[in-house]
A and B are shown apart, each in its own frame.
Chain A
């Protein structure tokens, strides 16, 4: 047992303590620097939207997500690596928009992983170009692996409470239909990629020409990466030859 006076005092003191703790004017406010940093963090909105998708897939969130990517593509139109990351996120967004809860479970992990890497690339100042490319390559590989799994109709487990999609549904979603993961590393010979924009109203998928600056940039970025890998291999071969001789 506790003294009842003691307990009554607890209540009144609590009120005043809460007032102090959560007052808008007294005490410590968030650092001005922190506020500035948050204000200028270019991926803040994208991060919020990814968290929102994680929570619940809604039309509203997905539309905002895709719009945010469009905006960021303009912001980073001169940064090919960032553009490539954004293109992957865009493809994943389109796929989720079509398949909703039936999306391959790995999609959400990869979405988060791609964002984390993009975040690192954007926020780390003075990151070497090779390091940036290496991070992009890793994410691209994960993305491609997922795309292959979906196109091969690899089985994946859904939460028990949800209806398991029929195999035919998965197959259907991989025949270049909306909901299929598109190839972000578009080859020059492939003249167009499908943006999965099929809406509930049954609109046809929008075809985006590679001539569009953003896709062109992406293509160039991929070519650069290819060239980089090729150069690396050539250099290694030369070193091996030199060692042999």
Chain B
């Protein structure tokens, strides 16, 4: 649930990048950080667990500034994509306001995408949130790999697999090159803030 302080006119939203392991969630945040760190005046934080190698999550907070009198703060998170870290994923989803699902467009990752989306639905349900109602954008990442001759899933297949029921805004992207990374981010921020309008009215 977004933090809205009407007295101080402050809005804080939490957006989580979700998806299968190695799909490019961290690369999305890294691109935003590398490209705009100075402009958004922030630090990217990577939190690790103790005693093993697992990254817990990435965290990129930034302040959009005063928008129509409201100080809008955005918090971007990633979750570990590996199947075994579901508890961590569920924890990071607590209080989420918007989701970016980063799907891996590589043909060999088709099943992992579907499983990750199902997993997201289950984990959201644990917080009594519906995948059909939360602000949500899908990103089909790694389109740049086509240049290297790596088999990718056709966009129609990805849409059919992941978006036939949800009917969400979707972007074909390359997190490494930055293609549609910012477009994805702008869309999810807009959608999330729009959803908060209902709470404010």
Contact = CB atoms under 8 A, between A and B. Distances in A.
Given A4-B201, A30-B35, A55 B26 contact: yes
Interface string A1-31: 1101011111101110111011010011011
A105 B193 contact: no
B59 interface: no
Contact of A9 (B34, B68, B84): B68
B175 to A, nearest CB: 13
B68 A53 contact: no
Contacts of A24: 182
Interface stretch (A154-162, A179-187, A219-227, A234-242): A154-162
Given A22-B36, A55-B55, 11 more contacts: A2-B6, A6-B68, A10-B70, A13-B67, A14-B68, A14-B193, A18-B64, A21-B36, A22-B186, A30-B35, A105-B51
B182 A157 contact: no
Nearest to A10: B68
Interface of A: 1-2, 4, 6-11, 13-15, 17-19, 21-22, 24, 27-28, 30-31, 51, 53-58, 105, 108, 157-159, 161-162
A1 B64 contact: no
A241 B67 CA distance: 76
Contacts of B197: 7-8, 10-11
A107 to B, nearest CB: 8
Contacts, number: 90
A30 B52 CA distance: 35
Interface residues of B, number: 39
Interface of B: 6, 21-22, 26, 34-40, 46, 48, 51-55, 64-65, 67-70, 72, 80-82, 84, 182, 185-186, 189-190, 193-194, 197, 200-201
A108 B186 contact: no
22 contacts: A6-B68, A11-B194, A13-B67, A14-B68, A14-B72, A14-B189, A17-B72, A18-B189, A18-B190, A21-B36, A21-B64, A22-B185, A22-B186, A53-B53, A54-B48, A55-B21, A55-B80, A56-B21, A56-B82, A105-B52, A105-B53, A161-B84
